[in-house]
Structure 1
C-alpha cells in the first residue's frame, strides 16, 4: 500500500490541502480481485467527498497487478 501514495502527500502537511484526505487509508477504498491462484488485482480509489466541497483530483486512484508473493507486477 505504501507504493500507492506519492512521497509528497502526507496527512500532516498543511501545504497540500488534500493531504488530510488523500494520505489517510480510512478514505481510500481498496478492492481486491483474485484472477488466479497467483494473480491478484488491487484497486485503490480515494473517496474525494472527504477532501472538501468541490474538490477535484484528476487521475485519482490506481490499479495494481500483484503475484501470490506480494510482488507488484504492473500498475496503472
Structure 2
C-alpha cells in the first residue's frame, strides 16, 4: 500500500465516511470508517462500524474501497 493510499484511508476515518471495503478474497464490508489501528497480531487495520459492531480489516488484504458518502476528496480507491 502506498503512502497516498494510506492517506486516503486516513481521510475516510477523519470524516467518518460510509465506505464499502472489498478484500482480495472477495469479502465485502460496509460501514462507517473510524480509525486505523493494530490488531493483536500487530497488523495495521482499518476499523469500521458495521451493524453497530467494530470490525478490523487488515490494510494488506484490501483490494478496493468505495466511498458512499459524497465528498470532495475521493470516491474510489484501488489498492
TM-score by length of 1: 0.25
Structure showing greater Rg: 1
Normalized per residue, which structure has more helix? 2
TM-score by length of 2: 0.24
